[in-house]
Amino acid sequence: RGGEEEEEEEEGWHQLYPGHIPTSPLQKALLAAGSAVMALYDPYRHDMVAVLGETTGCLALPNLRDKMKNHPEGYHILQERPRIRLSTLDMARLQGLPDGSLGREYIRFLEDNKVSPDTRMPPKFVDDEELAYVIQRYREVHDLMHTLLGMPTNMLGEVVVKWFEAVQTGLPMCVLGAAFGPLRLSTRKLQVLATELVPWAIRSGLNASCVLNVYYEQRWEQPVESLREELGIFPPP
């Protein structure tokens, strides 16, 4: 290990957290361009979407971190660094919660759409340990955004959630997904998206308080409708 540390020092870089890959601005630009092309070609390439988010979030992530630091619940999250994974979820307890509660509806979303929180990739290219946690937290609450917004994981649902997240976070990755995701939709779905869903997602994103400032693990019993109202998310169309 001592030899590895000496080699890192000689090369002028070091790991800030496990899995961190230091990159220069040029390398980040190349990674961003390549991942953007691949993500547009196949929006379900979550690895490419993840790389795009990390290499283009240099302005948005500090802003999100500051919003969390300036909010009591967000600051608490930054201090405790909770993780949403199968190993941290009491699945039996969440399944036993009343219908309509955040925990029960979140588990229902995972089961209905056959998704798992463990598929969220750990950050690699964010050159700040605290900001790396911020983007990790954003990824792990993404399914909770689907739950709060009442959106499935099909392309239409993903585009709607991306519009909401783009307004909320300012992450270029979300803006790109919101702008180009509709290209894969049918004419009928585009009409519904343009006339109903996007206007609602934008209004909700602008009206809602920062969704990263919610300690969801302490809110499982809260009714989804109550949390929507508290955050300022308008009821889904």
- pLDDT tens across 151-167, in order? 998 999 999 999 999 99
Question: What is the pLDDT at residue 49?
Answer: 87
pLDDT at 71 over 90: yes
* Residue with more model confidence, 148 or 45: 148
**Residue 189 CA, distance from chain mean position:** 24
Instruction: Dig out the tokens for 74 from the structure.
Output: 């967000």
Which of 2-11, 60-69, 184-193 is the least confident region? Answer: 2-11
Question: Domain residue spans in the chain?
Answer: 25-231
pLDDT at 6 over 60: no
What 3-state DSSP class applies to 39?
helix
Question: What is the pLDDT at residue 11?
Answer: 47
Backbone angles phi, psi at 223, to 5 degrees: -60, 140
Q: What is the mean pLDDT of the chain?
A: 91
Question: What is the pLDDT at residue 7?
Answer: 45
Question: What is the pLDDT at residue 47?
Answer: 86
- pLDDT category of residue 10 using cuts at 50, 70 and 90: very low
Give the CA angle between residues 139, 140, 145 to the nearest 5°. 85
Alpha carbon distance 53, 173 (integer Å):
5
Burial of 80-113, coded b for 16+ CB within 10 Å and e otherwise, reads eebebeeeebeeeebeebeeebbbbbbbebbeee
Which of 9-23, 49-63, 130-144 is the least confident region? Answer: 9-23
Strand partners of residue 191 = none
Q: What is the largest CA-CA distance in the chain?
A: 61
* Residue with more model confidence, 41 or 170: 170
Report the chain's C-alpha Rg in angstroms: 18
- pLDDT tens across 97-141, in order? 999 999 999 999 999 999 999 988 899 999 999 999 999 999 999
Average pLDDT over residues 51-73: 95
Average pLDDT over residues 229-233: 97
